[in-house]
């Protein structure tokens, strides 16, 4: 008799992800003890030996709740019990920049970067299709562009560490069933029920209201939209990279810029601003729009000041980015 269908589904997703990891590279699972990451950890522990792949796990103690250290220790024991080795926890200090959700995420990823870099490992994350739908809705509410609406990528690199999200096509119900079928008891983080967080309000209120109003399948439809937007965004980014080089790379040829479609040109302008020292996280669409006006609606305006004390201005047929 084979495994429960939910268990098999999670294992197949992990098997496909492992096939994308470079040969010989160890893999770590980021496990909070919640249903999604716990099902992912169990699947990795099953699949990695069969793929001849070293596999371990790490849990992050954010220190935001009483007893968090004991909870992290329990997750480490659970990962060892599944057969993941090494398994460990990392305590982090969560700052305040960008709000509590963003600050916790920044601290978590920094710790994962360090843990993975020490082992030369890739990292598996437990985000599901439901997480993807929430991300898209949050992007819509904030008026974000295609990049944000494209949601979370299946694979990405940061700080030279490769990250994978094997479960993006699976829903939370599947991971919960997988845990139950294997006798695993997930931990439900109280923060995931706290309406002070925008993502929780989307999960508890917005998505169910949409399901009621327009019918079932909203989360799957939003995730599907995100996947299509990611493909479109990747194509535009590739075009913009070529256009950036064609325009001169640093000081950009205004004629080349003016001939580009706006969707490509604004990507080139954003890239040039970031390369000149503008912090990507504070460079808003409005800033890029003002720089774009130097190209398409110039009436003698001198320059545009950008975050990071970067300035963009016209000179001798070129768009120059430099210190303010």
Q: Determine, yes or no, domain membership for 254.
A: yes
Same domain, 104 and 203: yes
Q: What is the CA radius of gyration of the chain?
A: 22
Across the chain, where does the E strand assignment appear?
A: 27-30, 55-61, 87-91, 122-124, 155-158, 161-164, 252-253, 303-306, 310-315, 318-323
Q: Determine, yes or no, domain membership for 120.
A: yes
- The pair of structure tokens assigned to 308 is 């990071």
Q: What is the pLDDT of residue 63?
A: 81
Q: Determine, yes or no, domain membership for 301.
A: yes
Q: Determine, yes or no, domain membership for 286.
A: yes
Binding residues for ATP: 32-37
pLDDT of 5 above 90: yes
Confidence grade of residue 281 (pLDDT, cut at 50, 70, 90): confident
Q: Determine, yes or no, domain membership for 229.
A: no
Q: Determine, yes or no, domain membership for 192.
A: yes
Neighbour count for residue 63 (Cβ, 10 Å): 15
pLDDT of 97 above 90: no
Binding residues: 32-37
Instruction: Kindly report the average pLDDT of the chain as a whole number.
Output: 93
Sheet holding 27-30, edge to edge: 87-91, 55-61, 27-30, 122-124, 161-164, 155-158
What is the extent of the structural domain holding 140? 5-214
Q: What is the pLDDT of residue 249?
A: 81
Q: What is the pLDDT of residue 15?
A: 98
pTM for this predicted structure: 0.85
Q: What is the pLDDT of residue 2?
A: 82
Cβ proximity of 11 and 3 under 8 Å: yes
DSSP codes, 206-219: IHHHHHHHH-S-HH
Q: Determine, yes or no, domain membership for 226.
A: no
> How much of the chain exceeds pLDDT 90, in percent?
79
> How much of the chain exceeds pLDDT 70, in percent?
99
Confidence grade of residue 156 (pLDDT, cut at 50, 70, 90): very high
DSSP state of 306: E
- CATH code where residue 263 lies: 3.30.465.60
Confidence grade of residue 130 (pLDDT, cut at 50, 70, 90): very high
Q: Determine, yes or no, domain membership for 240.
A: no
Same domain, 210 and 254: no
Same domain, 185 and 56: yes
CA atoms within 13 Å, Cβ hemisphere of 141:
12
Q: Sort strands 252-253 and 122-124 into parallel, antiparallel or unpaired.
A: unpaired
- CATH code where residue 44 lies: 3.40.50.620
DSSP state of 21: S
Same domain, 195 and 253: no
Q: What is the pLDDT of residue 51?
A: 95
Q: Sort strands 155-158 and 161-164 into parallel, antiparallel or unpaired.
A: antiparallel
For 288-319, the pLDDT digits (tens) are 999 999 999 999 988 999 999 999 999 999 99
- Across residues 231-245, what is the average pLDDT? 95
Same domain, 50 and 195: yes
CA atoms within 13 Å, Cβ hemisphere of 36:
20
Cβ proximity of 121 and 28 under 8 Å: yes
Instruction: Name the domain boundary from 214, 235, 266.
Output: 214
Same domain, 51 and 193: yes
Q: How many domains does the chain have?
A: 2
Instruction: Name the domain boundary from 164, 197, 214.
Output: 214
Same domain, 210 and 252: no
Same domain, 138 and 278: no
Same domain, 262 and 153: no
Same domain, 253 and 145: no
Same domain, 121 and 36: yes
Distances (CA, A) of 14 to 21, 40, 46, 129, 201: 11, 7, 9, 15, 30
Same domain, 271 and 203: no
């Amino acid at each position: 008799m084979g495994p429960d269908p939910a268990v098999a589904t999670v294992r197949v997703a992990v098997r496909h992800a492992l096939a994308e990891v470079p040969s010989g590279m160890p893999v770590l699972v980021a496990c909070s003890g919640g249903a999604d990451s716990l099902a992912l950890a169990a699947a990795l522990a099953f699949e990695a030996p069969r793929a001849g792949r070293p596999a371990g796990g790490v849990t992050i103690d954010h220190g935001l709740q009483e007893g968090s250290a004991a909870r992290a220790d329990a997750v480490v024991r659970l990962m060892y019990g599944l057969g993941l080795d090494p398994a460990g926890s990392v305590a982090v200090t969560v700052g305040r920049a960008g709000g509590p959700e963003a600050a916790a995420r920044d601290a978590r990823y920094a710790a994962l970067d360090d843990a993975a870099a020490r082992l030369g490992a890739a990292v598996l994350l437990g985000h599901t299709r439901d997480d993807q739908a929430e991300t898209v809705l949050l992007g819509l509410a904030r008026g974000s562009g295609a990049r944000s609406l494209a949601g979370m990528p299946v694979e990405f690199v940061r700080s030279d560490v490769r990250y994978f999200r094997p479960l993006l096509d699976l829903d939370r119900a599947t991971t919960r069933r997988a845990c139950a079928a294997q006798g695993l008891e997930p931990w439900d983080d109280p923060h995931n029920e706290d309406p002070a967080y925008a993502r929780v309000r989307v999960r508890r209120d917005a998505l169910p209201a949409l399901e009621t109003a327009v019918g079932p399948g909203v989360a799957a439809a939003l995730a599907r939209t995100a996947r299509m937007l990611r493909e479109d965004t990747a194509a535009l980014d590739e075009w913009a990279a070529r256009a950036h080089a064609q325009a001169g790379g640093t000081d950009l040829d205004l004629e080349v810029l003016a001939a580009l479609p706006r969707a490509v040109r604004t990507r080139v302008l954003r890239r040039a601003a970031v390369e000149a020292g503008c912090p990507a996280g504070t460079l808003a669409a409005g800033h890029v729009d003002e720089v774009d006006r130097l190209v398409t609606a110039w009436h003698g305006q001198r320059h545009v000041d950008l975050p990071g004390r970067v300035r963009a201005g016209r000179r001798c047929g070129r768009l120059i980015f430099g210190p303010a």
